Structure 1
Amino acid sequence: MESAPSRDERRAATAARILEAAQAEFGDRGVEGATIRGIARRAGVDPSLVLQHYGSKKGLFEVAVRPEPDLTAADVPRHLGEVLEIRMRELPPATRALLRSMLTSPDAADAMREYLQERADDLARTSARADADLRAAMLVSSILGLTIARHFLDLPALSDLDPAAIEAIAEPWYAALLPPAG
């Protein structure tokens, strides 16, 4: 016979349900349009539980849009390829929330800036070029622009790209960061 979940397990499950609901709510409505009540409704909990777990809407937003942990420099090219492929197919709720909110919320703009800077710094470390910082910033900014064009502007040419086409087009971007041959 299985034992009932412990209090800590139930609490963790509730926090995860709230976080998932918050990512969806922020993704649909942005940080300004989302409410604690709306998040609670999506999670199937009382609004007081949202505040109990995350303290405030701002605190919940910061957790909901937090990017994945730091990558090593060796992981960055693979990661960028995966990110580009994923961004052309779908947007995780946390990313949708961050993108939708970054132009109206200073907190979201800060989170996006920090995320892009971390990725650009990691990518630049993989290159010996003198202008690696600029090249890396342009690469991560390009992925951001593609993401916006695909998911928020519905640019038709980006709607149905296959992974092979994405890889063929993205390969020269990565090559531009490598040291010159010779």
Structure 2
Amino acid sequence: MTAETGRRRAGGRRPGASGTREAILAAAQRSFAEHGYTATTVRGVASAAGVDPALVLQFYGSKDQLFDAALRADPPTRPLAALVREGGVADLGERLTRRYLELWEAPDTGARLLAVVRGASASPSASAMVAAFMSDEVMLPLARAIGADQAELRANLTGAHLLGVATARYVLRVEPLASLERERLVALLAPVVQRFLTGEPA
């Protein structure tokens, strides 16, 4: 093999483009979850995936686009979208609240949700991507499931309330909320969430 051939192979697309793209995306998801948006770099993701940084940019364009792709590939909120399509809305407040807290407390989804929240405050572009992601993956499915007047507003209020509680409990670790037993917290939150979903509008 000539030096010129070696240079072309080092900087170009390696065999198995689909597998390479998936490896980059998996490395990005791990990095964003473990290190956050700010500390994650294209070079670091490339190193973890075993590729040249130019290949990361070839597939994803920029760090922001890589962050967006990492959010939307197997999103940590997918169980919530599935949940709101199941059953009726009479007890949706309790089911949604419990499942949301469970996701935050599971090691894998909790780390990814934490990356989402921290990413939202890292840069204006990341914030816009998180907002679009939450709208597409959580708010719209929830609004459709409610099937009531002002469904979009109800979904927004529900999401904002649960996100605020999660931020205080899991990100800022505010006491005594951070140490409150999960089922006790579900009992406190569920009636409020249910009112947002199905109660009389203000």
Q: CA RMSD in A?
A: 3.3
Counterpart pick for 1:145 among 164, 171, 175: 164
**Superposed displacement of residue 57, structure 1:** 1.9
Which structure 1 segments of 5+ residues have no match?
1-6
Instruction: Label 1:115 to 1:46 Cα distance change in 2 as closer, same or farther (>3 A).
Output: closer
Residues 1:112 and 2:145 are matched in the alignment: no
Alignment deviations for residues 150-173 of structure 1 (CA, whole Å, 9 cap, x no partner): 332122434455553343233313
Whether the 8 Å CA contact 1:37–1:47 is kept in 2: the answer is yes
Larger Cα Rg: Structure 1 or Structure 2?
2
Aligned to 2:155: 136
CA offsets 1:70-116 (integer angstroms, 9 cap, x no match): 94753494556422321244444543333212123223222222233
Q: 2:194 aligns with which of 131, 155, 175?
A: 175
Corresponding residue to 1:20 among 23, 26, 51: 26
- TM-score w.r.t. the length of structure 2 is 0.64
2-side partners of 1:146 and 1:26: how far apart? Answer: 22
Distance in 2 between residues matched to 1:128 and 1:55, nearest whole Å: 39
TM-score between both structures, scaled by the size of structure 1: 0.70
Post-superposition CA distance 1:120-142 (Å, at most 9, x none): 34333444654544332221012
Structure 2 spans left out of the alignment, 5+ residues: 1-14
2:198 aligned partner, one-letter code: L
1:4 maps to none
Structure 2 residue aligned with 1:124: 143
Higher helix share: 2
1:1-29 deviations in Å (ceiling 9; x for gaps): xxxxxx54xx4444333222212323444
Select which of 68, 89, 100 maps to 1:83.
100
Residues 92, 43 of structure 1: alpha-carbon distance in 2 compared, 3 angstrom cutoff: farther
User: Percent identity, aligned pairs only?
Assistant: 33
The residue matched to 2:173 in structure 1 has which SS? Answer: coil
Alpha-carbon distance, 1:52 to partner:
3.6
CA, structure 1 residues 89+170, in 2 after alignment: closer, same or farther (shift >3 Å)?
farther
Q: Aligned residue pairs: how many?
A: 172
1:3 corresponds in structure 2 to none
